[in-house]
Structure 1
């Protein structure tokens, strides 16, 4: 466990190392469910692919150690916690984690950011506000409304959405597609038959195995091209 030093306190920073103990860095940004088995499995997969993976705890100020179940009750509880979350502080934590990885002796090469849901919104914001070397955003709900910020992003960025997402209307996704079409280095993939959080394999109410597999293959290929391990 690393320690992330922030202006308003120090917080533990879980880090996963690749088999070689060295590699490019990736900041993995959580969903509202917190640091759960799903997110740990994603970190393990990325570390196995050669990345040094760090997960900042976004809810440490309001509900330290938060992790919920992946059913309707868990969604409701997580939404209640997320209602007290300050996105600006969360973005600051993500940017601080990027800096932390850049300064880590285990990190060779660049540092990217990858997030799901809440984390997908913050990964996009981090690419606009900070200096990651690459970014991947899965179904970030605030992305369509803030897509004008794409003009501020100079690193490669990949977006993923579900065409049947009840939280992000398909028309809003189309606005992202339009912006991406004219932005060098950006790409978007829509799994038309999938809904929200379709990659989360421990959430039966969301998971779409076929869409998840396709999106993850696109993600790992993108990372190999833009942040090779």
Structure 2
């Protein structure tokens, strides 16, 4: 297993709120086709296909054409209702953005934490970086003058990695995730990076307060514009506020609900992307 995946696996497995991860999903994994997944996002998404090297993958686009673009990266669940909710909201912020979700799992969405673990374990992280780079280039080739990247949990770690590894990225906003040093050395970041973490996040080494402060120190040495925000009383995935997501968070042991923190994070997101895009 790649080190980046191992770091995240250990972080989840060590969390008392994530005990379902301790069972193996390999013999009984069930994956829900995206078409069957209920979506809370009302806006229509356009399905496009993006080519990178000898691989083609699906992506989902929402928002007005020729607006600045933002690549929106999934949590470990896959392209589900909540990442679509985030992309839909992003597309309507300020004067509007063109939000694009690349399907890093190639059509699979997890039903529970064990399946999500299985999908994440199988992810080619270097390949995912290439998918993201191709997505950024697609947006720029299709009318977006500048493009940012944002992501949540696994997607948060990947978004920061693209700020290091993908020169075409103009700005990054990451939520509760940091890449391993083997995937990306954040002291060598090229793009402006804003990052958000919950004070009570207990995914040690990945998105806890110690990981957040370590990221901040490395970004200082990089010299790029950066902000690292820690939200009092919030745990992992605190931005997920739909009824379905709240139910899922409670099943995994996170009972906090803080609309004030969510609104503040979105305000900071909006200001950061407006500044650089």
Quickly name the TM-score band, shorter chain normalised: 0.7 to 0.9
Unaligned runs of 5+ in 2: 1-46
Q: Could you say which residue in structure 2 is the equivalent of 1:178?
A: 217
**Residue among 239, 250, 253 paired with 1:199:** 239
Classify 1:147/1:67 alpha carbon distance in 2 versus 1 (closer, same or farther; 3 Å). closer
CA deviation after TM superposition for structure 1 residue 220, in Å: 1.0
Q: Could you say which residue in structure 2 is the equivalent of 1:85?
A: 123
| TM-superposition CA deviations, 1:57-102 (whole Å, max 9, x none) | 1111xxxx22234xxxx12221121111111111111111111111
- TM-score by length of structure 2 reads 0.71
SS in 2 for 1:23: coil
Q: Could you say which residue in structure 1 is the equivalent of 2:258?
A: 209
User: Residues 212 and 228 of structure 2 are in contact (CA less than 8 Å); yes or no, is this contact kept in structure 1?
Assistant: no
Range 199-208 or range 210-219, more displaced = 199-208
User: Residues 28 and 115 of structure 1 are in contact (CA less than 8 Å); yes or no, is this contact kept in structure 2?
Assistant: yes
CA deviation after TM superposition for structure 1 residue 3, in Å: 1.1
| TM-superposition CA deviations, 1:95-116 (whole Å, max 9, x none) | 1111111111x32x21111111
Q: Could you say which residue in structure 1 is the equivalent of 2:137?
A: 99
| TM-superposition CA deviations, 1:160-219 (whole Å, max 9, x none) | 111111113322222223334453401110113111111112322246333222211111
CA deviation after TM superposition for structure 1 residue 48, in Å: 1.6
- TM-score by length of structure 1 reads 0.85
Classify 1:130/1:141 alpha carbon distance in 2 versus 1 (closer, same or farther; 3 Å). closer
CA deviation after TM superposition for structure 1 residue 225, in Å: 1.4
Unaligned runs of 5+ in 1: none
CA deviation after TM superposition for structure 1 residue 147, in Å: 10
Q: Could you say which residue in structure 2 is the equivalent of 1:139?
A: 176
**Residue among 67, 85, 88 paired with 1:41:** 85
Classify 1:147/1:163 alpha carbon distance in 2 versus 1 (closer, same or farther; 3 Å). farther
Range 4-13 or range 205-214, more displaced = 205-214
Q: Could you say which residue in structure 1 is the equivalent of 2:192?
A: 156
SS in 2 for 1:220: helix
User: Residues 16 and 54 of structure 1 are in contact (CA less than 8 Å); yes or no, is this contact kept in structure 2?
Assistant: yes
Classify 1:147/1:217 alpha carbon distance in 2 versus 1 (closer, same or farther; 3 Å). farther
Classify 1:148/1:45 alpha carbon distance in 2 versus 1 (closer, same or farther; 3 Å). closer
Q: Could you say which residue in structure 2 is the equivalent of 1:67?
A: 109
Larger Rg: 2
Separation of aligned partners in 2, 1:187 and 1:148: 18
Q: Could you say which residue in structure 1 is the equivalent of 2:57?
A: 11
